[in-house]
Structure 1
Amino acid sequence: MILAGIFGVGEVIAKNVVVNILITTFGILFVSYYAITALISAFSNKNSMKFEMEHSNFSIKKTIILTLCITLLNPHVYLDTVFVVGASALTFDIKEKILFVFGSLSASFIWFFSLGFGAKKFSHFLSKPIINRIIDIFIAIIMFFVVLTLVKFLLKILYI
C-alpha cells in the first residue's frame, strides 16, 4: 500500500478535487467518530482493558487471516499508507521516491514491531483503569487535532 501511494495513487488522487473533497469529508467524519468514542471511553466506568497473557489456541493460518482482515478492512490503513504517505511523496523525483519507500517501510516495520512487543511487555501496566483513561484522553486530543487539520484542508480545497 505504501508503494501504491508513493508511485501513483497518491498523485492521481491529489490532482482530483472531487476525490479530495470526498476523502477529506469521510476522514473528518471517521476521525471525529473515533475522537468522540475515545472521550466516551475515557469518562465511562467501563474503561478498563483486559489483556490475556495466555497463549491463544489460534492456528497460524487463522491468526494470519484474522490479521489480514483487521488490517485490510480498516479504512484508516488506506488513509495513512496510500493517501498521506502518497501525498508526502508528490514532489519527489524517482530517486527520492525510492529512498522514501525504504524509509517508510523501515519506519513501519520498526513501529509495528515495537508496538507488538511493547504491548506485551507493558500489558500489566496498560491494564490499569487510570492509564486507560489517560490514553483515551490523549487519543481524543490527537484525533480532534487531526479533525481540525482536515477541516482546514477541506476549507482550502473549497476556497473558503
Structure 2
Amino acid sequence: MTTVDLSAFFTGLGSGLALIVAIGAQNAFVLRQGIRREHLFPVLAVCILSDAVLILLGTAGIGKLTETAPLVLDVIRWAGAAFLLAYAVLSFRRAIRPAALEATGGGRRTVAAAVLTCLSLTWLNPHVYLDTVVLLGSLAASQGPEGRWVFAAGAVAASTLWFSALGFGARLLAPVFARPIAWRVLDLAIGVFMVVLALSLMRSSL
C-alpha cells in the first residue's frame, strides 16, 4: 500500500469513527445487547454489514441521488420516528414493570426479533444515510478515483472496530447491571432518548 493509499485509508478510518462514534438508537441497542450478552454476534453482523453497504453505496455515488430526492428522506424520517416511539414504549414498559414483561415473553428476544429490531433501527434512521451515504460518500469522492475505495475501506474498518468494541466492551458493565434497578434505569434512559430522537426526526420533517 502506497503512502497515498495509507493516507486515504486513515482519513477514512478517522472520518468513519468521527461520524459513527456517537450516541444513537443503534448504539444504544448494541450496548443493551452487549450487556445482556444476547444474540450479540448477529446484531453486530447486521450493524457492520449495513454500514459497509451504505458506505460503499455512498462511495459509488448514490449520495447524490439521496440529495436530489428529499421526499425519500422524509418518508424514512416519519417511519423512523414511528418506530422509535414504539421502541420507547417498550423500554418504558420494561422500566416500570420488568417482571410483567418477562412473563409475557418480552424480556428476552429471539434471534429473529433482535435482528429485525437492529435492521429497523439502522435502515429507518435517516441520520445513517446522511452520515454514511452522503457525508462519507462526499469525502470519499474527494480522494480521487482510486483513493476513494481505500477511503471507503478505512470507513468500513472504523465501523467494524467501533461496533465490536461497543458490543464486547459492554460486558465490562455486567457487574453494575447485576442489580435489577440498574436495568430499570437503563431502560428508562433509553426510552427517553428514543422519544427525543423521534421528536427531532419529526421536527426536521416539518
Distance in 1 separating the partners of 2:195 and 2:67: 23
Is 1:30 paired with 2:83? yes
Q: Structure 1 length normalisation: TM-score?
A: 0.66
CA distances 1:62-101 after superposition (whole Å, capped 9, x unpaired): xxxx69x927971223345861321333653431865763
Distance in 2 separating the partners of 1:99 and 1:71: 31
Q: 1:130 to 1:9 in 2, by over 3 A?
A: farther
Which of 170, 191, 195 aligns to 1:140? It is 191
Shift of residue 39 of structure 1?
A: 1.4
Q: Structure 2 length normalisation: TM-score?
A: 0.53
Give the corresponding residue for 1:87.
134
Shift of residue 30 of structure 1?
A: 1.1
CA distances 1:95-125 after superposition (whole Å, capped 9, x unpaired): 1865763553233222222233223443343
Moved more, 101-110 or 28-37: 101-110
Moved more, 92-101 or 26-35: 92-101
- What is the count of residue pairs matched by the alignment? 139
Distance in 2 separating the partners of 1:73 and 1:136: 16
Is 1:77 paired with 2:122? yes
More helix by share: 2
Contact 1:35 1:144 in 2 (8 A): yes
Shift of residue 126 of structure 1?
A: 2.5
Equivalent position amino acid for 1:27 in 2? G
Structure 2: 5+ residue stretches without partners? 1-52
Q: Percent identity?
A: 24
Q: Which one has more relative contact order, counting CA pairs under 8 Å at least 6 apart?
A: 1
Give the corresponding residue for 1:61.
none
Structure 1: 5+ residue stretches without partners? 51-65, 156-160
Shift of residue 136 of structure 1?
A: 0.9
Give the corresponding residue for 1:54.
none
Contact 1:10 1:90 in 2 (8 A): yes
RMSD: 3.4
Which of 20, 44, 49 aligns to 2:97? It is 44
Q: Which secondary structure state, in structure 1, belongs to the residue aligned with residue 155 of structure 2?
A: helix
